[in-house]
Chains A and B, each alone.
Chain A
Amino acid sequence: MSAQTYYVPEQSRFPIFMALSLFLLVMGASSTINNLDNPDSNSAYILYAGFISLFTTLFFWFRQVIKEHLAGLDSNQLKTSYVYGMAWFIFSEVMFFAAFFGALFYVRSFAVPWLSGEGENGVGISAIGLWEGFESSWPVMTTPDKGAEYVLAEKSMAWPGWGHALEWLPLWNTIVLLSSSVTVHFAHIGLKNGDRKKFNRFLGITVGLALIFVGLQAAEYYEAYAHYGLTLNSGIYGSTFFMLTGFHGFHVMMGGFMLAVMLARSVFAGHFEDHDHFGFEAASWYWHFVDVVWVMLFLFVYIL
């Protein structure tokens, strides 16, 4: 029975350091952002200190958890706790994206048409001459204020038609990310069959694909800023486009980093067994989640 006792760790310093790191991080972030136009500000150092201390704490915290696991302290019940915990964490991430998708659907279905006077029977904003001449369309290329406050983009990221499909980066990004979901699955199969070589190879390919995706995304952003005039400043289309793809890209980086850590653990420390590899499984679930978000993005931000 003793092997199956639920492991309640002793006192731990990690949480309080983590809370302190988060405090430094958000204090630094807030003051840095508030001082963006003040070159003499030193706030960014608080932000860096926050980041460094956050990553340090996370490193030692995870190291401790892995040590405990390898020492056999984790009962099957605790493993189930980790499984549930990760699942609910991913659910919370889904809801985070839901807020931005909700914003996208709302502006496309309601806000933008209403701004052009739709459905008002001549009593709304168009009747008082606000945003006169604004035509509802998506992507919104001409903002209601006709570029008075916002900068007008020349070109959007929308589907360019079959003739230009192959030079359209989002399509390549989709191919890259979908394949990475497949390769991470192959890695999982390899691990389950005890084939570490296959696991390492496919996990390495997955991390590589993640890097390619981030690279392509960076290229796309460069295109947008340098050649399309599409920026955060170009009204609601730019806002939703960069917010959704930006947060997705950030999650790709996090997921890719997790997978890279798993790869390093496998290659350098020989971690993971065919029946015991939750760290990797959790990272791969996260990866599949990031992939699903991309499919939604591809549909609703790029194609439709």
Chain B
Amino acid sequence: MSAVIENHHDDHHHGPAKGLTRWLYTTNHKDIGTLYLWFSFAMFLIGGAMALVIRAELFQPGMQIVEPEFYNQMITLHGLIMIFGGVMPAFVGLANWLVPMMIGAPDMALPRMNNLSFWILPFAFFILLSSLFMEGGAPNFGWTFYAPLSTTYAPPSVTFFIFSVHIMGASSIMGAINVVVTIMNMRAPGVTLMKMPLFVWSWLITAYLLIAVMPVLAGAVTMMLMDIHFGTSFFNAAGGGDPVLFQHIFWFFGHPEVYIMILPAFGIVSHIIETFSRKQLFGYSSMVWAMLSIAILSFVVWAHHMFTVGLPLAAELFFMWATMLIAVPTGVKVFNWVATMFKGSLTFETPMLFAIAFVVLFTIGGLSGLMLAIVPADFQYHDTYFVVAHFHYVLVPGAIFSIMAAVYYWIPKWSGNMYDERLGKLHFWLSFIGVNVTFFPQHFIGLAGMPRRYPDYALQFADWNMVSSVGAFLFGVSQILFLFIVVKTVMGGKKATDQVWEGARGLEWTVASPAPYHTFTTPPKVD
């Protein structure tokens, strides 16, 4: 099939191209996965630096370091960058690396579109970050960009923000379509749906959520754009619209979005706990059904973010109960992981440490979520630091720990080298302590009434804020260690075997370490 297309060379089965163009023009799922992961790490550091600006300002009451206006830009960009630039691309990177290898496919289903999905992101975040230097400053209305803060009272850079969200959305939709099509169409013979590794299942569901809600976000920002520049009144009561409408549309996107950021973590943690418990997962199908239920429920709980906007009583009750229902499948998952570990031959390598920390700390985040789901209680907690503590518990020791666990778990397969176990464990313990010192006290100051998103606070919140800031710097600095460990592993180290982990099961462990540039050009046989 070689000579028919001029630029279709016969070196199909050879290694990667040389130089920069390898990365610019690549169609290889492993290259693109690597690009995604490094991009997400860069964003993680930038967003993290912004978090440290926030925590430095909050170290003491009073205004110390930044202007309130700049503080608002920091909280906005921190949220947007961590969500759209940090967590989501990291999971897409993992999907790129792992899904084709796990289902025995030669590559992603649509390799060129895959490259496009990635390369949109650096441009989109360039636009977003460049808004810091624009007249009037960067977006300053919080990552949820509620109208009218983001419309009537927004800085001019909001237009750039809107369009960068548009292309980020396009990138996510294309990435998600690629994942869905790959999983539905590219499985090796014998890999039936209910034999798919759980990470693949979790991504199938995630991708479906992404395709369903990213267009809704595009719709929301488009209405903002029209309201700001073209005189419509979607979010302005004077013309018959409603600012609360913005919140409904935003959270219809936003709630599935938070599951987009946690479902792949469920898949990752299931694999790791299984491997280091040297047991089969306690309940595979219950895990699949739990993830599906969570995904479906995620579409009917959005207004629990809006309990205090003046919803009708019936709506408050409906959204409260629907939200609480999510605890059921989540409980199924947590007990599933615990039962898998029960009577297992456990060892505690770095990925396992992160995975166990995930189970414990994500559960804490889930329980504070349940507290927030109770309408009358939420009237008190709403927009306090308790909410900040809650979603950082599910996102940092939840999503981000799972990403780190995944990196430690699969990096021997990616690079062919073992990471330094001693340093890995050190990184884990520093991160674990850092995360808890940062975010646990935020529960206290939140319950005591400290509102979120303010650069200054009353004196009674001073002590725990100081503790929280110390923890944040500890956590932030430990991530430099992570960078060091990853670079060291990629550069060299003890050679990894193909199997890597004694208890690991799955197609990706049957190929060489490092995984060859092209795997499964002919589909493997799976029984």
**Which chain A residues have a beta carbon within 8 Å of chain B's beta carbons?**
1-2, 5-6, 8-16, 18-20, 22-23, 26-27, 29-30, 33-34, 36, 61, 67-68, 71-73, 77-78, 80-81, 84-85, 88-89, 91-93, 95-96, 98-100, 102-103, 106-107, 110-112, 114-115, 119, 131, 140, 143-145, 148-150, 231-233, 235-240, 242-243
Contacts and interface: CB of A to CB of B under 8 A. Distances in A.
B229 A36 contact: yes
A26 B7 contact: no
B216 A95 contact: yes
A111 B245 contact: yes
Contacts of A6: 105-107, 186
B220 A81 contact: no
B240 interface: yes
Interface stretch (B177-185, B464-472, B489-497): B177-185
Contacts of A8: 12, 27-28, 106-107, 111, 518
A299 B231 CA distance: 25
A72 B8 CA distance: 13
Contacts of A145: 238-239
A16 B35 CA distance: 13
Given A107-B245, A149-B238, A30 B160 contact: yes
Interface in B187-239: 211-216, 218-220, 222-223, 225-226, 229-234, 236-239
B215 A95 contact: yes
Contacts of A36: 229
A20 B110 CA distance: 19
B107 A239 contact: no
Contacts of B111: 8-9
A26 B226 CA distance: 15
A22 B164 CA distance: 10
Interface in B263-306: none
Interface stretch (B16-24, B332-340, B477-485, B503-511): B16-24
Contacts of B26: 11
B80 interface: no
B5 interface: yes
A40 B229 CA distance: 18
Contact of A143 (B239, B248, B521): B239
B170 interface: yes
A69 to B, nearest CB: 11
A93 B211 contact: no
Given A12-B27, A13-B25, A236-B240, A85 B4 contact: no
Contacts of A27: 127, 160, 163
Contacts of B236: 149
Contact of B173 (A30, A92, A98, A148): A92
B320 interface: no
Contacts of A22: 120, 123, 167, 170
Contacts of B232: 232-233, 238-239, 242-243
B15 interface: no
Contact of A11 (B17, B105, B186, B223): B17
A199 to B, nearest CB: 27
A58 to B, nearest CB: 11
Contacts of A95: 211-216
B446 to A, nearest CB: 29
B181 A81 contact: yes
Contacts of A33: 159, 225, 229
6 contacts: A23-B123, A89-B177, A98-B215, A143-B238, A150-B233, A235-B233
Interface in B90-123: 105-107, 109-113, 115-116, 119-120, 123
B9 interface: yes
A11 to B, nearest CB: 4
Given A9-B27, A33-B225, A143 B186 contact: no
Given A11-B17, A22-B120, A26-B163, A96 B219 contact: yes
B contact residues, range:
35 or more
Contacts of B12: 8, 10
Nearest to A23: B123
Contacts of B106: 5-6, 8
Given A95-B215, A102-B252, A106-B248, 4 more contacts: A23-B127, A34-B159, A73-B8, A131-B237
Nearest to A29: B163
Contact of B231 (A15, A96, A233): A233
A54 B112 CA distance: 16
Considering residues B116, B164, B212, B225, which has the most beta carbons from chain A within 10 angstroms of its beta carbon?
Answer: B116
Contacts of B312: 119
A15 B123 CA distance: 13
Contacts of B162: 30
A51 B143 CA distance: 30
A237 B173 CA distance: 30
Contacts of A148: 238
A26 B127 contact: yes
A13 B166 CA distance: 23
Interface centre among B8, B21, B219, B229 (most CB of A within 10 A): B219
B462 to A, nearest CB: 38
Contacts of A67: 5
B404 interface: no
Contacts of B226: 232, 239, 243
B185 A80 contact: yes
B249 interface: yes
B233 A92 contact: no
A188 B497 CA distance: 55
A11 B21 contact: yes
Nearest to B236: A149
A10 B7 contact: yes
B240 A103 contact: no
Nearest to B156: A34
Contacts of B459: none
A38 B116 CA distance: 34
A88 B212 CA distance: 9
Contacts of A99: 215-216, 218-220, 223, 249, 252
B498 interface: no
Contacts of B237: 111, 115, 131, 144
A92 B211 CA distance: 5
B243 to A, nearest CB: 10
B420 interface: no
